[in-house]
Amino acid sequence: MNTKKFKVAVLGCGNAGAMYNIKNSKSKLILSHCKAFYENKKFDLLCCVDPDKNKLINVKQFYNLKYVHNSIESLLKSRISFDVISICTPIDQHYRNIKQIIKLKPKIIFCEKPIASNIKDAKKIVKMCKEHHIGLIVNFSRRWDSQLEKFKQNLNSNKFKNLKSINIKFNNGLLNYGSHMIDTLLYIFDDNFKKFKKVQLLDNDISSTLIKMFYDKTPIYICIEKDNDSSLFEIIFNFKNYQVMMLNGGRVWSYRKVVKDSDIKNNLIYSDFKFQKGSVLTTLSLAVSEISRILESNSESKYEGITAFQSQLLCDKILKIIQN
Ligand SMILES: NC(=O)c1ccc[n+]([C@@H]2O[C@H](COP(=O)([O-])OP(=O)(O)OC[C@H]3O[C@@H](n4cnc5c(N)ncnc54)[C@H](O)[C@@H]3O)[C@@H](O)[C@H]2O)c1
């Protein structure tokens, strides 16, 4: 039996890299790259890099790490090779960090979303990885969300009829929650990037920005709230016979059927809310399992860089329209 484990390094020990789990150490949820690799028997989480000394001490102890480095330069000097390197550094550093660690020739770079802080850097990252034959997988979490997958299957079946419109609401910025939202739309519609069109700004004031665009002939109304007090991330799909809501980022779903109104004759209304638990908080371990399958089979990910790049292109298009 092959017991060789895939070697992993995580760059950036903040929330996504390690801290979500260290701060919630009693939770069984896998919310950080460190925990996802640590819990998967196929991987050996060997190393973390972060300039923050306290985080490094904490992470080294928590995950019993063999190596920690306070800079990528120091990691490069160590000349240790890794099968996977996770990029969990701030978005505006992704390009510089990936350019540096490419010298270590990892087989896969597992990059936090979005790929970069601008479209130029995102393009360079995708190109660089391709040229060096490095798999680039971007953690747009919902690509591994089984409830969303179920919805997607129903979308292509006869259960839901005539998608009339989509209403979207989120906060925390276009590159942050917005990129997740855009990527979710692309995923739902089979990454059919060219069918997203006619992006227009409806309104932009101190409280929110309103965008309208189309997926084919379906209008999509996007409301970007500027108040970030509490997380907001929801999508409502309005079908002729159903209303489907993805709420709280996908922690909760609601399916409401169009039914005959029992009080008013010849009137149709939505049935009462029925909530189902979502699976968005289980995605990171599934993403990491997929990485192990890719490494074992020497194959490509179906979400290889380019899908994340298309999400970023669409975000960029919206951003330009808002800024103009
Ligand atoms: N997929 C998700 O749902 C999700 C959730 C949260 C964050 N993220 C993404 O994760 C990334 C990081 O976000 P965060 O919230 O964890 O940020 P954070 O600020 O909590 O953590 C970033 C860490 O990177 C470290 N760092 C900075 N420069 C570094 C360098 N050169 N080398 C190594 N480490 C360095 C910082 O010291 C910090 O500890 C972003 O791309 C963000 O969009 C994704």
Q: What is the pLDDT of residue 118?
A: 97
Over range 226-230, report the average pLDDT: 96
Q: Is the pLDDT of residue 64 over 90?
A: yes
Q: How many CA atoms lie within 13 A of 161 on its CB side?
A: 4
Taking Cα atoms as reference points, which of 92, 37, 55, 101 lies closest to residue 285? 37
Does 284 contact ligand 1 (Cβ within 6 A)?
no
Does 184 contact ligand 1 (Cβ within 6 A)?
no
Q: What is each CA distance from 48 to 58, 79, 130, 207, in whole angstroms?
A: 11, 14, 25, 39
- Which residue, chain included where needed, has tokens 């925390």? 172
Measured in angstroms, how far is the CA atom of residue 175 from the centroid of ligand 1? 14
- pTM for this model (two decimals): 0.96
> In terms of DSSP H, where are the helices of the chain?
20-23, 33-39, 53-63, 72-78, 94-101, 119-131, 146-155, 179-188, 283-297, 306-323
Cα three-residue angle 68-49-54, rounded to 5 degrees: 75
Q: What is each CA distance from 295 to 99, 112, 142, 308, in whole angstroms?
A: 22, 19, 21, 20
Q: What is the pLDDT of residue 3?
A: 74
CB 75 within 8 A of CB 101: yes
Does 280 contact ligand 1 (Cβ within 6 A)?
no
Q: Which two tokens stand for residue 299?
A: 């194959």
What pLDDT band is residue 2 in, cutting at 50, 70 and 90? Answer: low
Per-chain mean pLDDT for the chain: 96
Q: What percent of the chain has pLDDT over 90?
A: 95
Taking Cα atoms as reference points, which of 176, 271, 166 lies closest to residue 222? 166
Q: Is the pLDDT of residue 79 over 90?
A: no
Over range 152-163, report the average pLDDT: 91
Least confident window among 2-6, 104-108, 138-142: 2-6
Least confident window among 82-91, 156-165, 249-258: 156-165
Q: What is the pLDDT of residue 1?
A: 55
Q: What is the pLDDT of residues 253-270, one digit of tens each?
A: 999 999 999 999 999 999
Over range 157-177, report the average pLDDT: 95
Q: What is the pLDDT of residue 131?
A: 95
Q: Please, what sign has the CA dihedral across residues 85, 87, 88, 89?
A: positive
Q: What is the pLDDT of residues 272-301, one digit of tens each?
A: 999 999 999 999 999 999 999 999 998 887
- Write down how long the chain is: 324
Using the atom order of ligand 1, give the atom closest to the CA of residue 15: 16
Does 33 contact ligand 1 (Cβ within 6 A)?
no
Q: For helices 306-323 and 179-188, what crossing angle results, to 10°? A: 130
Using the atom order of ligand 1, give the atom closest to the CA of residue 91: 41
Q: What are phi and psi of 168, to 5 degrees?
A: -125, 140
Residue 197 CA from chain centroid, whole number? 22
**Of 11, 15, 231, best ligand 1 pocket probe by most atoms within 8 Å of the beta carbon:** 15
| Atom 3 in ligand 1: residue holding the nearest Cα | 141
Least confident window among 1-10, 191-200, 260-269, 311-320: 1-10
Q: Is the pLDDT of residue 54 over 90?
A: yes
Q: In order of start, what are the domains of the chain with their CATH numbers? A: 6-141+283-303 (3.40.50.720), 146-278 (3.30.360.10)
C-alpha to C-alpha distance for 151 and 157, rounded to whole angstroms: 10
Q: Is the pLDDT of residue 302 over 80?
A: no
